[in-house]
Amino acid sequence: MTDGDLGAQVQAWVDANWDRSLTVREWWLRLADAGYAYPTWPVGLGGSGAPRRDAMTVAAVLARNEVIGPPVGAMAATLAAPTLLEHATEEQRMELVRPIATGEAAWCQLFSEPGSGSDLASVGTRAVRDGDEWVVSGQKVWNSSADSADFGMLLARTDVDVPKHAGLTYFVIDMQQPGIEVRPLRQMNGAANFCEVFLTEARVRGGHVIGDVNGGWRVAQSTLFHERNSVAGGGLPGLVMARSGSRGDLDRTVSEVLDRAREVAKARKSPIRAGAVPVKLMIELAQKSGVSGDPVIRQELARYVSQVRVNGWTMRRSGAAGGKLTGADGSIAKLTTARICQESRDLSYRIVGARGMLAGRVSPLEGDLQTVNLASPGNRLGGGTDEIQLNLLGERALGLPREPSTDKDVPYRDLRVGTQAAGPA
């Protein structure tokens, strides 16, 4: 089928199915059953096994019609689903992937711990078998959207007598249970996008181990791969987003969600959301601040525009190659995007001068500039720090030797890493 034929087919489907009196739940069900929620996913799970190119055509038609976009579910569609499609059993896929496509489940990622971030294999949260179930105790941190998640992708230690990479298991844990306490963390820009999560004898249901017991490192690598690559994605303008999961918008009508989105858009005076200031806005900011004739600012602006453009082209090339351009496409995307965010912060502060010290609605771009700039260091950390991306790039794209490791063959219990670093109490 040509792109044109597919586009016409999707348009006819939208004309027949988009109805503003539907609930979000009903709309997402229709989208999933038609295979248009995530076209590359298998039939029955929200897709039709279509190639990536077809998925882009479907998304473009949906965006053109300004309908509610497919459910994202925080980390559900970008990280959990692709990991499950690669590593879960048929039964687990039916149970866990379909609710992502129909918006019934939102997910978070429970990997990092207070003593384990870059050295993720050192996580110390313990999971102990109890019949068919597992009992989990420990602490996770920096877990985005954990306060609205139904499920968590949990990496926990199941064997301390083997080296650190070999004693980890990948679980799916129900977030809404008595053994889990989620505390949102307030950031310096006032938002609370991520949480710390305390697990005290929390339970993992039988059948919710993904991959092999003690084979969790391999599964976690998939999630991390998709996390790096998800930076290169980005939504299509036009699609309206609704919240998935039991705490989301499922039982609201699509018109309620559209009205809400319109109100939010009307209340906002500036088009920046997160990440970096768009090129056009940065130039306008320089003009309005009376510095667009300053030779140094002009030079910086030209550099910024070039970086953003080149990055956009690189992302598109990488997207077209299915993330297989260099062997480390996700790391390149993450690194360059993080760098642009830092450039954006520095250049915009230079442009607005002392006004950059202000916060709130009296400050530049109604306070949005400060909110985004204060969050910019996070782009260098989340999904693996810049230094870790450089290591991956060196090893996987350039073929450089691996970073030396002295603990590869030492049983976890003998290591002083992660939360064990402080030694026995």
Ligand X SMILES: Cc1cc2nc3c(=O)[nH]c(=O)nc-3n(C[C@H](O)[C@H](O)[C@H](O)COP(=O)(O)OP(=O)(O)OC[C@H]3O[C@@H](n4cnc5c(N)ncnc54)[C@H](O)[C@@H]3O)c2cc1C
Give me the residues that bind ligand X (CB under 6 A), please.
108-112, 117-118, 142-144, 194, 378, 381-382, 384-385, 387-388, 391, 403
Least Å from the CB of residue 153 to ligand X: 9
Least Å from the CB of residue 387 to ligand X: 3
Least Å from the CB of residue 386 to ligand X: 6
Q: Which is nearer to ligand X, 69 or 384 (CB)?
A: 384
> CA 340 to CA 321: how far, in whole Å?
23
Q: Which is nearer to ligand X, 77 or 110 (CB)?
A: 110
Q: Which is nearer to ligand X, 300 or 368 (CB)?
A: 368
Least Å from the CB of residue 34 to ligand X: 31
Q: State in Å, rounded, how far the first CA of the chain is from the last one.
A: 66
Closest among 18, 371, 76, 382 to 231, alpha carbons compared? 382
Using Cβ positions, the residue closest to ligand X within the complex turns out to be 117
Least Å from the CB of residue 233 to ligand X: 16
Q: Which is nearer to ligand X, 117 or 330 (CB)?
A: 117
Least Å from the CB of residue 341 to ligand X: 11
**In degrees rounded to 5, what are phi and psi of residue 168?**
-110, 145
Q: Which is nearer to ligand X, 88 or 388 (CB)?
A: 388
Q: Which is nearer to ligand X, 231 or 257 (CB)?
A: 231
Q: Which is nearer to ligand X, 112 or 318 (CB)?
A: 112
Q: Which two tokens stand for residue 144?
A: 């985005």
Least Å from the CB of residue 63 to ligand X: 26
3-state SS, the chain, equals CCHHHHHHHHHHHHHHHCCCCCEHHHHHHHHHHCCCCCCCCCECCCECCCCHHHHHHHHHHHHHCCCECCCCCECHHHHHHHHHHHHCCHHHHHHHCHHHHCCCCCEEEECCECCECCCHHHCCCEEEEECCEEEEEEEEEEEECHHHCCEEEEEEECCCCCEHHHHEEEEEEECCCCCEEEEEECCCCCCCCEEEEEEEEEEECCCCEECCCCCHHHHHHHHHHHHHHHCCCCCCCCCECCCCCCCCCCCCEHHHHHHHHHHHHHHCCCCCCCCCCCHHHHHHHHHHCCCCCCHHHHHHHHHHHHHHHHHHHHHHHHHHCCCCCCCCHHHHHHHHHHHHHHHHHHHHHHHHHHHHHCCCCCCHHHHHHHHHHHHHHHHCCCCCCHHHHHHHHHHHHCCCCCCCCCCCCCEHHHCCCHHHCCCCC
Least Å from the CB of residue 56 to ligand X: 27
Q: Which is nearer to ligand X, 326 or 419 (CB)?
A: 419
Closest among 121, 23, 157, 144 to 75, alpha carbons compared? 144
Least Å from the CB of residue 375 to ligand X: 8
199 class by beta-carbon count within 10 Å (0-12 exposed, 13-18 middle, 19+ buried): buried
Q: Which is nearer to ligand X, 171 or 194 (CB)?
A: 194
Q: Which is nearer to ligand X, 101 or 388 (CB)?
A: 388
Least Å from the CB of residue 224 to ligand X: 9
